Amino acid sequence: MTPLIAARGLVKRYGGRAVVDGIDVDVYPGEVLAVIGPNGAGKSTTLEMILGLRGADGGSVTYWTGGPRRREDPGRWMGVQLQDTPFFPGLTAAENLQVFAAFYGVRVTRQRLDDNLAACGLAEAAHTEAARLSGGQQKRLAIAAALVHQPKVVFLDEPTAALDPAARREIRMLIRRISRSGTAVVFTSHDMEEVEKVADRVMFVSGGRVRAAGTPQALTAAYGVADLDELYMKLAVEEVS
Amino acid sequence: MVVTFRALLAGALRDRISLFWSVAVPLLLLLVLGSLFPEPAYRRNLVLGLVAFGSLSFAMSGTGFEVMRQRGRGVYKLLRATPFPVAGFVGLLAGARGLITLVGAMLVAGVGSAVHGIDWTPGGILLALPVLAAGTACFTCLGFVLGNLGDNENQVAMYNNLFLLPQMFGSEMFYSLDGAPGWVAAVRRWLPAGRFIDALRAAAGGDGAALVPSLLVLLAMTVLILGLAAATFRWDPGDRRHLPALRRA
């Protein structure tokens, strides 16, 4: 299968220290790829380089555009939810979505806006000012904004961080729904239970390098551990020693 | 672009604090100071000074806080991941806030003139429009500088005081500086609000020739401040290095 995104040998240095040191990433259509690893491992920097938010000091990213318009801006079919929840505080959830659709060059109908909000569990909050939404709702609004232009791949940076268990569960279900609709999901997380539940593939990053990659089942079998939590601890300890 | 502009306009119209300072406070001061000091000459200058105060409040202070909030929220960073041109967004934001500043200024000028019996000639109104537009552009650029310098509400508030207070008290907004020391008059010449008020007074008097020097200086200041705003602009609070050099197939 042709990957949607193929990053090769990505390098990012700050003050001579490589925070990303030769990472390869492939993203396939419709898959859920979890990028895990300790804080400062280089996960977010890698995603931001793929998105073009940070310049790479080395390596390349090849984007598949899937059509004759090969020079099309990949930003048109990539969605992103950053660790912040970017929105315009004075605007309602629906208005925010409209603006984000315009950012992606898409004109959305009222119906599509409502469908998008409903898909992210925000139907009743459509006319609430974004600043008044709960933390979970703001995260879901950020995800809805990332999906408003129906991208082929969506990047979610710690989508469940600082959320209560109910909100985390809703986001997990949302990730599965996005994947079932054919959109690839790349997300970072520190919650191994969550990763095990939703990810098709896992990439463990530490010290700016990929230490292990594969399906959750293949990884736990290869390392002789019971679950991803144990694997995480094992790899993190190996890294420290 | 239209959708974004409309949304930014709606957002700016819901900026109650900026609207309070740019419209409600000037209208209140018009009534209070106008009734305390009934001399026609003072009232005339007061109306024009309060137009400047309102414009400065919305275009500069309001924009400064808005820019800081949007950057802090990661809006600019996210925007860079979309095909939408960031410069276009900044232009739309400035345009939306500028439009409301202009409407607010006209409202204050209209009410002030009606209440204090100031007659504007059609020529005076025509002359005032480019002055209001130039002042709004200049103050909006100052607002971007303000928002670029501060990382949080407290910092922007401090920088706002640094920008606002000298212009409030050194530009003849509320009182004449005729009796002030020479250095105060010298400083006043370098304040955008001072030039704005001078040009506005010339326009209100229908004196196009007297308006031109102040308007030109104001425009030159606008260009300089725009350059400063561009030089200090930051995509996100933490990182200034954003030069995507990736190969896109």
What pLDDT is attached to residue B224? 94
Chains A and B form CB pairs within 8 A to the count of 108
Q: Which residues of B touch A88 (CB under 8 A)?
A: 7-8, 11, 70, 75
Per-residue pLDDT tens listing for chain B (249 residues): 888 898 888 888 888 898 999 999 999 999 999 889 888 888 988 999 999 999 999 999 999 999 998 888 888 888 888 888 877 888 898 899 999 999 999 999 999 989 888 888 888 899 999 999 999 999 999 999 999 998 889 999 999 999 999 999 998 888 888 888 889 888 988 999 999 999 999 998 889 899 999 999 999 999 999 999 888 888 777 654 333 333 333
B59: helix, coil or strand?
Answer: helix
CA distance B130 to chain A (A): 30
Do residue A54 and residue B244 have CB atoms under 8 angstroms apart? yes
* The A209-214 sheet, strands edge to edge: A78-81, A153-157, A184-188, A32-36, A201-206, A209-214
Letter string b/e over residues B60-74, b meaning 16 or more CB atoms within 10 A of that residue's CB = bbbbbbbbbbbbbbb
Q: Mean pLDDT over residues A62-77, rounded? A: 65
What pLDDT is attached to residue A195? 93
Of B1, B72, B248, the CB nearest to A74: B248
pLDDT digits (tens, 9 = 90+) for A108-158: 888 888 888 888 888 888 899 988 888 888 888 988 888 888 889 999 988
Query: Is B243 inside a domain boundary?
Result: no
Count of Cβ atoms closer than 10 Å to residue B213 Cβ: 13
Chain A residues with CB under 8 Å of a chain B CB are: 49, 51-56, 60-65, 70, 73-76, 78, 80, 82-91, 95, 98-105, 107, 129
Inter-residue contact B105 to B24 (CB < 8 Å): no
Query: Is B240 inside a domain boundary?
Result: no
Q: Which residues of A touch B73 (CB under 8 A)?
A: 84-87, 89
Of A52, A85, A88, the CB nearest to B7: A88
Domain count, chain B: 1
pLDDT digits (tens, 9 = 90+) for A125-135: 889 998 888 88
* The A58-63 sheet, strands edge to edge: A17-27, A5-14, A58-63
Query: Is B242 inside a domain boundary?
Result: no
**Chain A nearest-CA residue for B16:** A90
Q: Which residues of B touch A64 (CB under 8 A)?
A: 249
Angstrom distance (rounded) from CA A57 to CA A12: 5
Could you tell me whether strands A5-14 and A58-63 are parallel, antiparallel, or unpaired per DSSP bridges?
antiparallel
Tell me A72's DSSP state.
S
Q: Which residues of B touch A75 (CB under 8 A)?
A: 81-83
Do residue A51 and residue B75 have CB atoms under 8 angstroms apart? no
pLDDT digits (tens, 9 = 90+) for B159-209: 999 999 999 999 888 888 888 888 988 898 899 999 999 999 999 888 989
What pLDDT is attached to residue A72? 59
Q: Which residues of B touch A102 (CB under 8 A)?
A: 1, 3-4, 7, 84
Q: Please, which pLDDT band fits residue A66 given cuts at 50, 70 and 90?
A: low
Query: Is B246 inside a domain boundary?
Result: no
Which stretch of DSSP H or E encloses residue A65?
A: none
Which residues, other chains included, contact A17 with Cβ-Cβ below 8 Å and sequence gap of 6+? none
Do residue A53 and residue B79 have CB atoms under 8 angstroms apart? no
User: What is the dihedral sign for C-alpha A119, A124, A125, A128?
Assistant: positive
What is the residue extent of each domain of chain A?
Answer: 30-39+76-240
Query: Is B108 inside a domain boundary?
Result: yes
State the best of A73, A82, A108, A158 to mutate against chain B, taking most chain B CBs within 10 Å.
A82
Give backbone dihedrals phi and psi of B152, rounded to 5 degrees, phi first.
Answer: -145, 175
Residue A28 predicted with pLDDT over 70: yes
Quote the tokens at residue B198. 């001078």
Inter-residue contact A75 to A18 (CB < 8 Å): no
The H-assigned helical ranges of A154-227 are 165-180, 192-198, 216-223
Inter-residue contact B173 to B159 (CB < 8 Å): no
Query: Is B244 inside a domain boundary?
Result: no
Angstrom distance (rounded) from CA A122 to CA A128: 10
Give backbone dihedrals phi and psi of A205, rounded to 5 degrees, phi first.
Answer: -110, 135
Residues A30-39+76-240, CATH architecture: 3-Layer(aba) Sandwich (3.40)
* ipTM of this complex prediction, to 2 decimal places: 0.76
Angstrom distance (rounded) from CA B199 to CA B213: 8
Of A63, A74, A99, the CB nearest to B3: A99
Query: Is B245 inside a domain boundary?
Result: no
Query: Is B247 inside a domain boundary?
Result: no
Q: Which residues of A touch B244 (CB under 8 A)?
A: 52-55
Residue A80 predicted with pLDDT over 50: yes
Angstrom distance (rounded) from CA B174 to CA B32: 12
